[in-house]
Amino acid sequence: MNLKRLALLVLLGVLVGVTIFWVPGRFADSSSGADGGDPAGASSSRSGSPGADASPGSGGGSGSGKKSDPEPATEALPEAASTPTESGLPGLTAKPRTKQAALISEPLPKQAVRKGALVAGYPEALEPPARTSVDVSSVTPTKGVLQVALTASCRRPCDVLRHFRTQLAQHGFEEVTTTSVENTPALSLRRGEETVSVTVTRTGRRSVDFSLYSVLRTKT
């Protein structure tokens, strides 16, 4: 009976010693977990957050936490081309001016008819092509108006219609539609109330016969 009691006391003492040894260790682990259970939080608290350490006035390149905005790009506009001038658009040649002056002037020549040559007072702008033989020429004046007539022939090669078309275009005459007799080549030119009509009457092997009739005015 004494041996059992002694054994019970020894066992009880062993249990008490084990309990005393184990409990403080658990408490130590619990306190360690409370203080440092979260390693990331502990390291964060020890090192401090980047935002807390970085101050607005600090000179650290990446510590500022904000990159400066790039300057806005500016688009360079092309320089304006040269502006149109009074003579026309740049790069385009100005249209040559035609002579708008009257082809006749006061005092008008007297009425006359001449064979074999141009009559006195015959307008220079209506002179026939070179190598032309005049049959009959005439001028008939009225109030501010001069009627001019001519029948002649020019030696081939000669282009009568082209000659008068080119010559009178320089004075502002424009070609208009005309109806010729028996489909003969003809030309009709007009400038305001002034008219010039040229008709090829016959085309031979060596010459071209033609006639001209014109009404000119002292005021255009």
pLDDT value of residue 219? 86
Asked if residue 180 has pLDDT above 90, the reply is: no
Per-residue buried b or exposed e for 161-190, using 16+ beta carbons within 10 Å of the residue's own CB = bebbbebbeebbbeeeeeeeeeeeebbbbb
In the numeric block, which tokens belong to residue 200?
A: 């090829």
In the numeric block, which tokens belong to residue 103?
A: 């082809």
| CA distance linking residue 183 with residue 200, whole number of Å | 10
Q: pLDDT tens digits for 52-91?
A: 444 444 444 444 445 555 555 555 555 544 444 444 444 4
Q: pLDDT tens digits for 117-145?
A: 999 999 999 999 999 999 999 999 999 99
Percent of the chain, pLDDT > 90? 48
For residue 161, the SS3 value is: helix
Mean pLDDT, rounded, for 195-201 = 96
Q: Are 175 and 165 in contact (CB under 8 A)?
A: yes
Please give the helix or strand (H or E) that residue 194 lies within, else none.
strand 194-203
pLDDT value of residue 42? 41
Asked if residue 197 has pLDDT above 90, the reply is: yes
pLDDT value of residue 7? 64
pLDDT value of residue 153? 97
In this structure, the number of other CB atoms found within 10 A of the CB of residue 194 comes to 21
pLDDT value of residue 3? 62
Asked if residue 167 has pLDDT above 80, the reply is: yes
pLDDT value of residue 35? 46
Q: In what order do the strands lie in the sheet with 207-217?
A: 112-115, 132-142, 145-155, 207-217, 194-203, 186-191, 174-176
SS3 of 5-74: the string is HHHHHHHHHHHHHHHHHHHHHHHHHHHHHHHHCCHHHHHHHHHCCHHHHCCCCCCCCCCCCCCCCCCCCC
pLDDT value of residue 6? 65
Percent of the chain, pLDDT > 70? 54
| More confident of the two residues 85 and 198 | 198
Q: What is the pTM of this model?
A: 0.55
Mean pLDDT, rounded, for 182-192 = 90
Phi, psi of 21 (to 5 degrees): -75, -40
Phi, psi of 90 (to 5 degrees): -65, 140
pLDDT value of residue 184? 85
For residue 128, the SS3 value is: coil
Asked if residue 112 has pLDDT above 70, the reply is: yes
CA nearest neighbour of 145 among 175, 106, 96, 119: 106
- Average pLDDT of the chain is 74
Asked if residue 47 has pLDDT above 90, the reply is: no
For residue 148, the SS3 value is: strand
| More confident of the two residues 6 and 200 | 200
